[in-house]
Every structure is written in C-alpha cells, then in structure tokens.
Amino acid sequence: MQSPTSTSPVSAFQGNSPQLGQRVFIDPSARVIGNVHIGDDSSIWPMVSARGDMHKIQIGKRTSIQDNTVLHITHAGPFNPDGWPLTIGDDVTVGHSVTLHGCTIGNRVLVGMGAIVMDGAIVEDDVVIAAGALVPPGKRLLSGRLYVGSPCSEARELKEKEFEYFAYSSNNYVKLKDQYLAEMARP
C-alpha cells in the first residue's frame, strides 16, 4: 500500500489499509486513509476525505460519495468508550459537501448537498435528508420519510417516485464511474 506522502488517493495508517471491492472508482484528488472498506461499484468523487484512522468506515455497494464530502468516525475515549464507526449502506447517494461523522446510514438513502449527520445518529433505509439539513447526535431518522431543517425534523412521508429515485440515482452513478474508469484506462 502507498505511503501517505505518495500521489495515490489510497493509503494505509497504522497497519490498516483500505479494502476496495470490485470496480470501485476513487478520484485521484480524493483521500481514502486507513480502515476503510468500500463495496463493489461504489464511487468516491473529487476532494472527498474518508479518514478511517481511529475507527472503521464501511461503505456499501453502488454508493456514490460526491465532491468535497468528509467521512470520519468518532474515536473511542473517556466520553465514548467504544466510539462510533461510520457505516453507509448500499445504493446511497451522498451529495456534494456533506459531512458524515460516526453515524449509521441505511440502504437507499439520499443525503442532500451540505447536510451534516452527527455522531451516533441512525438513518434507517429509504430516507431523504434535504440539502443543508443537520441531523443532531444520536437522532434516529425513520424509514420512508423526508427530513429537512437544522436541526432536522420530519417533513412528510416519501412518495412512490422518490422510492424509485434511489435505484435510479445509484445506477446512474455506477454508469458514470464506469465511464471514468474506462477513460482512465486509456493509454
């Protein structure tokens, strides 16, 4: 594995190397460090920071982490003896400039641009978090709902078209990352 000073976007830290599934795309400007596991067909876009230095980051399959997003954990310490890993499910679209910190994101979730999800928060499957929303520490977002605001609150139940959008969005980003991988493979 590359050293942190190399030009590779992927580097080990204290004996933990990122584990990448098949057909994963990581933009050269991103940084994926340490105990990070990325599932098949997922994508990490420009300027993303995924720092698994003091706990684990798990990213599911067909998940897109978009530009300028920060992925981090909550370390174990006197105020939180076990810490919190960052867990992101399958078919998740994480918008631009999002911060996910020591939380759990279920499957088929859309996290809008600029949203912040804090330590110990749990986002169940099939949730939309609006752009700019703040999910406070320890809050649980229930399945099948849209959450807005800072701090966020439930706005309404999702409509059928919104449930369909989860698969559309994840599949669209799989196609796009495949185009990037093909472009990078050209001599």
Whole-prediction pTM = 0.94
Give residue-wise pLDDT tens across range 114-129: 999 999 999 999 999 9
Q: Report domain extents, the chain.
A: 10-185
For residues 86 and 178, give the distance between their C-alpha atoms in angstroms, rounded to a whole number. 26
Give residue-wise pLDDT tens across range 142-180: 999 999 999 999 999 999 999 999 999 999 999 999 999
Q: Whats the size of the chain, residue-wise?
A: 187
Give yes or no for residue 17 having a pLDDT over 50: yes
What was the pLDDT predicted at 136?
98
Is the peptide bond preceding residue 78 cis, with omega within 30 degrees of 0?
A: no
Give residue-wise pLDDT tens across range 66-83: 999 999 999 999 989 999
Which CATH class name applies to 10-185? mainly beta
Higher pLDDT, 31 or 5: 31
